[in-house]
Every structure is written in structure tokens, then in C-alpha cells.
Structure 1
Amino acid sequence: MAHVPQIRIPATYMRGGTSKGVFFKLTDLPEAAQVPGEARDKLLLRVIGSPDPYGKQIDGMGGATSSTSKTVILSKSTRADHDVDYLFGQVSIDKPFVDWSGNCGNLTAAVGSFAISNGLVPAEQIPENGVVTVRIWQVNIAKTIIAHVPITNGAVQETGDFELDGVTFPAAEVQIEFLDPAADDDGEGGGAMFPTGNLVDDLEVPGVGTLKATLINAGIPTVFINAEDIGYTGTELQEAINSDDKALTMFETIRAHGAVRMGLIKHVDEAAGRQHTPKVAFVAGPASYVSSSGKQVAAGDIDLLVRALSMGKLHHAMMGTAAVAIGTAAAIPGTLVNLAAGGSERSAVRFGHPSGTLRVGAEAKQLNGEWTVTKAIMSRSARVLMEGQVRIPGDAF
């Protein structure tokens, strides 16, 4: 029996923040995969090694976690005043689908670097030494993101002494600005920053109870609840949640009902086909704990504790887009996030997550009774891990 040989596709394997994924230039993809649809999804699934009933992604580039089962497609921007169009695909590990419903804030840190190194940013914008401002159009959520990428000797600087909890080695700092990160008519959620019109809602969750919840569209749609309301302290590490099937089922139920309340889906049954959004997170006031690396985090060094789930599991650190939601909610008096941080007005917070701490800032203001946020800012780092070509069977898509 004849078998179709493998094909080669130019690609770069990159770490961005606390995530990593496979990056492609749109024009390097096979023609059938250069447009949205079944061929593109099948190609990316095969590249990553999904669906894998073993949950390991051994036969692909994925790392069997939500943080490492990711793909990015970049192209020169078709929009005025933007350099690059950034499309993110969250690849399911054990199911045959790619979720296009949201952004990856961590991999955003690598978008500017890739764009510069691959000719997507005009050469005249790149100094011999200094910082390049890359204007990114985030296609999934129809938002502008600005990356400030350091340049040394005419090339992207990747090494440095910036340390990011959740990443083992230091690297060069990349500052990211998420402009107007709340939802609008073009963005995820299709309406307001607070889709219910409330800073805090009573969310009825069958089998769990009625929970206080802040439902926010900023960075990524997120459902925030109080840790104590579901029997947690906010100091939990991954094993405390991810080894507990009952807990994971509870969080998925909360997420599904939150998605309905936010208007993202019409029925809870639709949540299974929308794993990437919304996120669900639980918050608590500051407390001391030991992070997953053994680092002591002191209560006095943080404003609050946050733990978030991604693709059905507790995240090892914090999703970048969820950090935007945290910073935004913290800046608005009365949200559960703000109350956990002490309830005062603030333009930035440092929160504790399973791997350590992260600082995120946001500029929020109230106009005619409605809250708006102009930008959220945080620092990340990025690094090329491998570049060349990925191979997949020619009949995979």
C-alpha cells in the first residue's frame, strides 16, 4: 500500500511568557490552510499532535498542557497603523478541534519578536540599538496590542536579566500594552466590559450553589469567584486541583454557567466546544505560601491571590489575557478582584499565582456611569527555541 510522504512547512517554535507554541507566517502555510476552515484546523492539529487519547501529544509539537498546545499565524497587517496581524489557535489535546475564540496573552510577547525577525516589520522601523514599537492587530478579539521589543546590533535581543515567575531562566524584558482591552461590538463578548451590567452577580450553579461572581470582558472573558465560597484558600498549587476530578467538574460547571450568563453561549452544553473562553478564576486576600518552585511568597509582597483554570486545568502560573482581566477588575472599586486586593482605588496590583507573583497595571475610568479601561500593561519575555520546518503527513489535511 502506498503512503503519502510528509511535507515540510517553515515554522518557529517559541516561548512567549509562560507559554510556548508553533509560529507560522501565513504565506508559508499550504494554500488550503491559508484561509480559515477544516484544512487549517486539521493541519494545526497534526502539527501539535492532537487529538491524542493518551493525553501526551507524543506524535507532535505539543507539550500536553494548555500552555504548550498552542499555534500562532502571523502576516503583514491589512489594517492601517498596524504592523502585523496575529491569529491565535488553542489546540485541544484530546479532542479534534482548534479553539479560535480568544487570544493568548503570553504568546503575544513573542509576536513582535517573530514579526521583526521574519520581515513583517519595515526595516526602517528597526534601529541598530534601542526598542522597536510593534503595533499588533489581534485578529481573534479585534484589538490593538503594542509590543516594545529590545534591539541590539540590529537584531531582536532575547537574552537578558528579566525574571518571570513560571519561567526558569531570565531573558530580555518585553513590555506589552493591551489597548482598550474590554469587549466592544467587534470583540469577544459582543458588548460591554461587564456584560450583565453588574460589578458582582449572583451566579446560580446547579450542584454548587449561588456564588458571588464578577463577570468581565477584558483581555479575555473571565468569571471571578471568591476562593472561600468554594472551599479554597487561594494558595493552592496545581496538584491540589488537577488531581481532583470532582473539583475539575465543579469548575467546568461554574465556567459553563458563567458563559451563559455572559452571553457567550446560549446553553451550558455549548461550553464543551468552547474550551478556551471564558476563563474561571478564584481570588482571595493576600496570604503567605510556597510556590511550585519552592520560592516563599510573603503576604506582604502581594495585593491578592489568584488561581485560574485554562482548558479544564489549573494553570501553572497565569494566562496573560487573564492577567489583563485581573488588572482591569482590580482597578474598578467593587469587583471581587478589587475587594480581595483591599477595596481601594489602584492603578496596578501584584498578585500571587502558583509559580510566584506578577504585576499588572490598568488605567480605568468611569464615564456616564459606565466603566472603561484604556490600557493594561505588563512585562513578559520571549525566546526562539527552535526554527526551521515542521513535518506532517501530506494527507493530514
Structure 2
Amino acid sequence: MQNRLRAAFYRGGTSKAVVFNASDLPADRSFCDRIFLHVLGSPDAYGRQLNGMGGGLSSLSKAVIIGPSDRDDADVDYTFVQIAVDEPLADYGSACGNMASCVGPFAVDEGLVQLVPGQSEALVRIYDTNTDRLYHSRFPVREGKAVEEGDVAIPGVSGTGAPVVLDFLTPGGAATGKLLPSGKALDEINVAGIGTIAISLIDAANAVVYARASDLGASAADLPAQLDADTKLMAKLEDVRSAGAIAMGMAVTADKVKRSTPKVAIVGGPCQFTSLDGATHGPETHDINVRLVSMGNFHRAITLTGGMCTAVAAQVPGSLVQDIARIGGKDLRIGTPSGVLIVTADVRSGNHGPEAVTAGTYRTQRRIMEGSVLYPANLQEPQEGTRL
């Protein structure tokens, strides 16, 4: 016996997810999570999710829930669920900026937001339940539907699409309540096998632990496969991430640190690098190189929340990121494995230190398919081993 559940499959930025209307989902979250795991094909010991819609990478193993908001300052609520590939884990601990780009278009196409006849641009106000933050999404519409065709290209995605402009409001403290969770722009930690290294702990749109690539014997210009294959580096980075999480107050011990957050990133100065599509990018094309780990592997581009956090960090006086990037304005050009991402942030001096006013960028999105996903009728019964 199979049950059917209405859903759509979207690409948002450099990620993909199965997207659900909140009104179609059961009220029991644990039941929802079992559905998500089944639909994506997790857990998969082979790491490919061939038995589901996931793609074997954290950026391709996601679920999104969108529904009307009861807040006066938001039109819809957005909940992001990261589905682990290799274990039965549905994680609500972080935001996803890439999939944030599909929320407004989905809301319009599903009739969750009403447009005025003849309207050519939509503004959808979105409440991110994962981070308790608001963001605005602007995108072209035609005949009451979101437009997908356009001439905007983004690193990591072949082809072009219509722009979705995202403005994240007051992104500081999304995970911990503080832009600088440790109270400092620069910290020092001791890492086994390395010694004492400098890190910056920044929480804007998402919490990220930044370390110099050179301090870890790595290069922030290498491709993900090269970095992932260095098992010693990956172990060091997990130690750095765990130590950073504890210093941020996100966990008491290393075994309590969530897989999804904080992220950890290695950074380096501008230099020539080759992106995944074979293109060469000279040092004049970007301000900083960033290679970010998500769910245990280096991201093939950079999470959008990680990109916005980096743009904010570049404007925090004394941070490791600012020291490397040395930018003078609000825009930051980030060298990623998929090319150069331009992100903007507005950081001002407040009564208690730097304050992030906004962070944003633009993405493209595509509604790839719509219909129903199937799951066994007996999935409603609790399953052993599911981690929520």
C-alpha cells in the first residue's frame, strides 16, 4: 500500500529539494521526517540515494516546508530540513540560503501570496523558522506566476534564469543570538596535531568557523574532491569545527555538536584557481577564496548562508576574513569551487560592537517537476533509529 503526498521538486541556487505545502503534511513532525527520509532515499550506506530523490550530496538532499505565516511582517513561513545521506537524520538546525530562492516563487505559484492583476514583480516577505529571521524575496512574475526564464547566470549552475533578489534582514545571531558568539572577532584554539591556530567565529545567516587554509596545511583554491580525499585535513577540520561550536556556546562537548551547524570554512587570499567547469579565474576576479564544509564534505560551491556570513565577516574589524579580504565596500567577491560569487552586506558599528543590518545576493530557481511523492502506508508507525 502506497500513500501519495503532493510535492514539487525545485532547484534553488546551487541546491535541490523536495518542496511541500505545509497544509499537505501531517501534524506529527516525526512522521513528516520519516516521509522526508524515505522520499530522499536516506540512509544510504552507498552514499548515492539511488532509492530516492536525493543526489548523494548535502546540497542535493533537502526538504523544504512552506506555508502561510501568522506574523504581521511575513507572508509565508519557510522551514528547511537537511536530510543526511548516510544516516537516518532529519536536521532542522540550520538555514539554507540557496533553497530560500524558491520560497517566494513557490508561494506565488501555489496561491499562498495573492498578486495584483498585471503585476510584473513580486515581493514576498518570508519568515525563516530555522533561524527566527526575516528575509525579502523579489522576482519577476507574469500572468500571476513566477518567471523562470532570464539571462542571469550563477556559479555552479549551467544555463541562465530569472533573478531572485534576496535581502536577509538583521542576519546577525541567526544560530546563537550574537554576531560574535565568543565576544571576539578573533579567537585562538588548540587543535591536536597542529597546535594553536587563529579562528573567527561569525554568526550571520548561519554560524561559521573560519580558519586560514595555510594554518591547516591546505589551499583554499583546491577543488572539493582534492580536499575531501585528504583524510587528515578532514579530521583536523572536524576538530576545528567542534572546538568552534563549543566556543560559540552551541554545544558543551564535541559529541553534542550538530552535523549541520556550525559550518567550517578554510580561507585564503586571491589567487589563480580553476573552477569545476574548467574555467580559470585570476586573482583580480575575486577578493577572497573560501572552501566550506557542509555535512562532512566540501561544498561544490558555497552555501548561500555561508556566503552571506563571509560578506558580513569581511566587514567585522579584526576578523580573520577581513584581514585576508581587505575590501573597502559592501560587496564581496568570493572565489568558490564553482566560480566567483558576489555577495553584499551592510555592517555598522553599534553600542555593543558591529551589527549586521542586511546581507543579500541574487539567485535563480526552477520548478523542475510537480505531482506526488509516494511512501508506504505503514510509514506512519514509528521506526527505530530515526534521529530528529
The alignment's TM-score, normalised by the length of structure 2, stands at: 0.95
Alignment match, 2:365:
382
Alignment match, 1:164:
154
> Which amino acid is 1:379 matched to?
Y
- Cα deviation for residue 210 of structure 1 reads 1.6
Secondary structure of the structure 2 residue equivalent to 1:43: helix
- Cα deviation for residue 6 of structure 1 reads 1.1
Secondary structure of the structure 2 residue equivalent to 1:317: coil
For 1:157 and 1:6, the matched residues in 2 are separated by 34
Alignment match, 1:202:
188
Match of 2:305 among 296, 321, 335: 321
Summarize deviations over 1:284-312 as a string: whole Å, max 9, x none.
Answer: 11001111101111101111111101000
- Cα deviation for residue 80 of structure 1 reads 0.9
The alignment's TM-score, normalised by the length of structure 1, stands at: 0.93
Match of 1:217 among 203, 228, 240: 203
Contact 2:191 2:236 in 1 (8 A): no
- Cα deviation for residue 153 of structure 1 reads 3.1
Summarize deviations over 1:231-266 as a string: whole Å, max 9, x none.
Answer: 122111011111222222221121111111111111
> Which amino acid is 2:88 matched to?
P
Secondary structure of the structure 1 residue equivalent to 2:98: helix
Gaps of 5+ in 2: 381-388
Does residue 192 in structure 1 map to residue 178 in structure 2? yes
Alignment match, 1:61:
53
Alignment match, 1:17:
13
Match of 1:113 among 97, 105, 117: 105
Alignment match, 1:71:
63
Report the RMSD for the aligned CA atoms in angstroms.
Answer: 1.2
For 2:135 and 2:96, the matched residues in 1 are separated by 12
> Which amino acid is 2:161 matched to?
A
Alignment match, 1:242:
228
Summarize deviations over 1:47-85 as a string: whole Å, max 9, x none.
Answer: 111111111111111111010000001110111121100
Secondary structure of the structure 1 residue equivalent to 2:278: coil
For 2:91 and 2:191, the matched residues in 1 are separated by 24
Does residue 6 in structure 1 map to residue 7 in structure 2? no
Alignment match, 2:139:
149
For 2:372 and 2:213, the matched residues in 1 are separated by 44
> More displaced, 202-211 or 98-107?
202-211
Alignment match, 2:383:
none
Contact 1:215 1:221 in 2 (8 A): yes
- Cα deviation for residue 369 of structure 1 reads 4.3
> Which amino acid is 2:360 matched to?
I
% identical equivalent positions: 37
Secondary structure of the structure 1 residue equivalent to 2:240: helix
- Cα deviation for residue 281 of structure 1 reads 0.5
Summarize deviations over 1:314-347 as a string: whole Å, max 9, x none.
Answer: 00001011011011001223211111112x5421
Alignment match, 2:245:
259
Gaps of 5+ in 1: none
1:328-367 equivalences in 2 (<5 Å): 328-342=312-326, 344-367=327-350
- Cα deviation for residue 368 of structure 1 reads 2.3
Summarize deviations over 1:371-393 as a string: whole Å, max 9, x none.
Answer: 10110010101001111011111
Does residue 46 in structure 1 map to residue 30 in structure 2? no
Alignment match, 2:171:
181
Secondary structure of the structure 1 residue equivalent to 2:156: coil
For 1:39 and 1:206, the matched residues in 2 are separated by 41
Alignment match, 1:28:
24
For 2:150 and 2:28, the matched residues in 1 are separated by 37
Secondary structure of the structure 2 residue equivalent to 1:67: helix
Contact 2:115 2:144 in 1 (8 A): no
- Cα deviation for residue 170 of structure 1 reads 0.7
For 1:334 and 1:80, the matched residues in 2 are separated by 38
Does residue 80 in structure 1 map to residue 51 in structure 2? no
- Cα deviation for residue 156 of structure 1 reads 0.7
Contact 2:109 2:146 in 1 (8 A): yes
> More displaced, 199-208 or 137-146?
199-208
Alignment match, 1:232:
218
Does residue 394 in structure 1 map to residue 377 in structure 2? yes
For 2:335 and 2:276, the matched residues in 1 are separated by 12
Secondary structure of the structure 2 residue equivalent to 1:224: strand
- Cα deviation for residue 154 of structure 1 reads 2.8
- Cα deviation for residue 129 of structure 1 reads 4.4
- Cα deviation for residue 144 of structure 1 reads 0.1
- The alignment covers a number of residue pairs equal to 380
